[in-house]
Amino acid sequence: MQALEQVAFLLERELASTYKVRAFRQAARVLGDLDPDELRRRIDSGTLTGLAGIGPATAAVAMEAAGGELPSYLRELQQRAPAELAPGGGPLLRQVLGDLHTHSDWSDGGSSIEQMARTAQALGRQYVALTDHSPRLTVARGLDPERLRRQLDVVAALNESLAPFRILTGIEVDIREDGSLDQTPELLARVDVVVASVHSKLRMAADAMTERMVRAVANPHTDVLGHCTGRLIRGRGRPESTFDAAIVFEACRRFDVAVEINSRPERLDPPRRLLRQAVEAGCLVSIDTDAHAPGQLDWLGYGCQRAVECAVPADRIVTTWPVHQVLAWTGRAS
């Protein structure tokens, strides 16, 4: 039901717990799959909670919506949700056409590829890159070569029904300690977009980390350097990785790799001082959400706000480019 999906979207947008969001999305699926007559009977008799996956909170939203009311919980979420998450980035956000870093339930995301794509389309995006994790990140159910090949077929079928919206095939590939990329060269050459990110041994010595990152950036398959410091600024937090930013950003400039502005509120990576340094070095930039759920696709404004603050030229932001220009840049134009 639409009201349940709206609640889930707004909860994801404000970074609510995965458990809470999942309850509303699961309830929407359960009721959406129910025979309409049975749904009506259960609403009339007040027995929705007799269904597996429907609790008191989700039942209340469904009952109020079925009665033609705006559910009180949905109203509460709408009232505390700002119309624009980051007003300073609004004008730039309107120029952004795509998002090159998103996840689905094929790895550690919470929703299907189609649901993520349709939400991005509804938010005004023209394209989105699906970049689920690579096999080494087992905690995130990273895709081995066989699963990634299957995913490519799924995306091809979805693109036929979603056109002119486009799902770009991709992967967020782990940068190993030696700087190599955690996927077969054949598949890295086949996907549209490769985001390369460090996810392990984030506290290694600065010289070693610099060499590791430069080797990854120099790999001809790398298109975007993801969340370059690996920092987390919420909760228990995590400090930045240390590396020689001048060397890494010069490598990005030389090898035409975009430095990601990661829009996740707990990352906002790179820090402003490093983003300004990347701009001064002449790097391309990719403003991405790193979304793991549909509501998180609305976080692009956070990245746009930081880009404005750090005077990133709009023409150097690859996610403002039309899809054919992005594919020409990544070398996958067809």
80-95 confidence digits (pLDDT tens): 988 778 888 889 999 9
**263 vs 43, 51, 204, 296, CA distance in Å?**
40, 38, 25, 9
Express each pLDDT in 172-228 by its tens digit: 999 999 999 999 999 999 999 999 999 999 999 999 999 999 999 999 999 999 999
| Lowest-confidence segment of 13-22, 46-55, 288-297 by average pLDDT | 13-22
- What's the pLDDT score for residue 334? 58
Distance between CA atoms of residues 182 and 191, nearest Å: 14
The per-residue pLDDT for 291 is: 97
Q: What is the mean pLDDT of the chain?
A: 95
Q: Is the pLDDT of residue 293 over 90?
A: yes
Task: Enter the pTM of the model.
Answer: 0.92
- Length of the chain as a residue count: 334
Strand order of the β-sheet with 166-174 is 98-102, 127-130, 166-174, 193-197, 224-225, 258-262, 285-288
The whole-number average pLDDT for the span 321-328 is: 98
**Long-range contacts of residues 148-153, Cβ cutoff 8 Å, at least 24 apart:** 148/183, 148/187, 148/191, 149/187, 151/106, 151/113, 152/190, 152/191
Phi/psi of residue 269, nearest 5 degrees: -115, 130
Question: How high is the pLDDT of residue 86?
Answer: 84
Cβ proximity of 288 and 263 under 8 Å: yes
Q: How far apart are the first and last CA of the chain?
A: 39
pLDDT at 112 over 70: yes
Identify which has the larger pLDDT, 192 or 139.
192
The helix/strand/coil state of 282 is coil
pLDDT at residue 121 is higher than 80? yes
H-helix or E-strand spanning residue 170: strand 166-174
Is the pLDDT at 12 greater than 80, yes or no?
Answer: yes
Amino acid at 262: N
